[in-house]
Chain A
Amino acid sequence: MKLDPSFIWTALIQLLSAIPTTLVITAVSVTIGFIIGLITALLRIYKIPVLSQIAAGYVTFIRGTPMLTHLLLIYFGLPMLVDALSAQFGWSIKSSSIPMIGFAFISFSITAGAYMAEVIRSGLLAVNRGQLEAAYSVGMTTPQALRRIVFPQALAVSLPNLSNSVIGMLHGSTLVFTVSVVDINAKAQIVASTNWKFFEAYLAAAVIFWGLTLLIERITAVIEKRINLYNRGGVA
């Protein structure tokens, strides 16, 4: 076997069609994961009885099990649940009508949520208590204080770690091939299966992933510069 440089290019062109799938899976899981993470972090910080224990259990279970396992559990478990509920309540939803990518959305959102919960929690804890007290002293309610004073500062602190999570989810999204969704990596396998030039195809996939990652890093840098305008401190 010899390296076929021209096939790298050919594969690259063919892989482009799978980029939207990868990006959609990443975007959905990161967005929903962020919301889950924020709620989980708040439940834990405010030590809401029962719910905070559930939140802590969720974080430790999800972080303690592989992302692939989450996907498989959802893929095999969710249909059972849906069908059982449908039968119970006479709904017309059938598990077979759930699109494959739906399983990826659900399971990866759950995965991302657990990791992001810890990132967001650390960001919230990094905000000085005096900030909240000052917000109260000018008469704000807790939701107002959180939204206007605490969250923006927590976000600025968490940003580097959040971008890490986004990159992690981008790369983790390659696991969807196990439930027959064609992302960039799966597409590379398909492209190569006709001529067995796997190395070239995966190399092309690697280049695309690296490119997407660079893009995420760039976007983070721009946002960071913007929202950290106020921060002239730190060790740097």
Chain B
Amino acid sequence: MIQLTNITKSFGRHQVLNKIDLTVQKGEVVVILGPSGSGKTTLLRCVNYLEKPNDGEILIGDYRLNCKHASKKDIYQLRQKSAMVFQQYNLFKHKTALENVMEGLVVVKKLSKEEAKTRSIALLEKVGLGSKLDAYPSQLSGGQQQRVGIARALALEPEVILFDEPTSALDPELVGEVLAVIRKIAKEGITMIVVTHEMGFARDVANHVVFMDGGVIVEEGTPVELFNNPQEERTKQFLKRITPELNYSI
């Protein structure tokens, strides 16, 4: 289980997150929606401690961290509980697809090279890149790079995988292959928090949808509740703008 309590973050005087509480059950897929600047990406980055929250508490699995008194060691511990898939992929540029997936296993998890390699190959095959093991990121398409990114996150067997707009940087044609992979692993019961603008994906895959605006959670619920029967005015407005077909599909 992942539990965020009272997460607060400001950049200078600009308050980005205002006392956010969020609970994600094991095996759940939570999608965070919201306009840009709503703080959704920052929230995700706080879970991985790429942003340091000013206040609050993060619980992942059995590891609890108080953001006010977090030592370096605590942060490293917390980071090992989660893995991140980035909007810009952020694959290690100087390493091949296989080495990218192996890196964390060898350096952080201290697996032997052989074991790491076997596991990494299996994962790359799973995301459909068994034939690209020795390709460098610069030789891969955006969709392929992002699938390597997903394999890299999966390899660590984290409690939760965090997806930060995983398809936003992709050509429309390549979005499908990445979403297919995310769907596939969602079915395997891996806990995920996904920030995305893909409404179709959110509807199909999410167990729970969270709508954020202005640094707070405006509304949350099941996809059916949130998409078909939003309660808050701000949510209605947002959904109307982002999915105009809703107007006549009901």
* B156 contacts A230, C-beta separation under 8 Å: no
Q: Which of A130, A149, A229, A231 contacts B86 (CB 8 A)?
A: A130
B80 contacts the other chain (Cβ, under 8 Å)?
Answer: yes
A47 contacts the other chain (Cβ, under 8 Å)?
Answer: no
* B136 contacts A136, C-beta separation under 8 Å: no
B208 contacts the other chain (Cβ, under 8 Å)?
Answer: no
* B83 contacts A153, C-beta separation under 8 Å: no
| Min CB–CB distance A20 → chain B (angstroms) | 35
* B94 contacts A136, C-beta separation under 8 Å: no
What total count of A-B pairs have CB within 8 Å? Answer: 73
* A134 contacts B92, C-beta separation under 8 Å: yes
* A131 contacts B90, C-beta separation under 8 Å: yes
Which residues of chain A (113-131) have a CB below 8 Å from chain B?
128, 130-131
Which residue of chain A has the shortest Cβ distance to B101 in the bound complex? A138
Which residues of chain B (65-111) have a CB below 8 Å from chain A?
72, 76, 79-80, 82-84, 86, 88, 90-95, 103-104, 107-109
* A140 contacts B104, C-beta separation under 8 Å: yes
Cα A231 to Cα B139 in complex, Å, equals: 9
A39 contacts the other chain (Cβ, under 8 Å)?
Answer: no
Cα A80 to Cα B110 in complex, Å, equals: 52
Q: What are the residues of chain A within 8 A of B153 when measuring CB–CB? A: 137
Report the count of interface residues on B (CB-CB < 8 A): 30
User: Main SS of the interface on chain A?
Assistant: helix
* A137 contacts B84, C-beta separation under 8 Å: yes
| Min CB–CB distance A136 → chain B (angstroms) | 6
B53 contacts the other chain (Cβ, under 8 Å)?
Answer: no
Closest 10 CB pairs of A and B: A138-B104, A137-B84, A130-B90, A134-B90, A139-B108, A139-B80, A230-B136, A232-B138, A230-B94, A139-B79
| Beyond A133-B90, A137-B79, 17 extra complex contacts between A and B, CB < 8 Å | A128-B90, A130-B88, A133-B86, A134-B92, A137-B153, A138-B108, A139-B108, A141-B76, A148-B103, A149-B94, A153-B93, A153-B94, A227-B94, A231-B93, A231-B138, A232-B138, A232-B139
6 residue pairs of the A-B complex, CB under 8 angstroms, read A128-B90, A128-B93, A133-B86, A134-B90, A137-B84, A139-B76
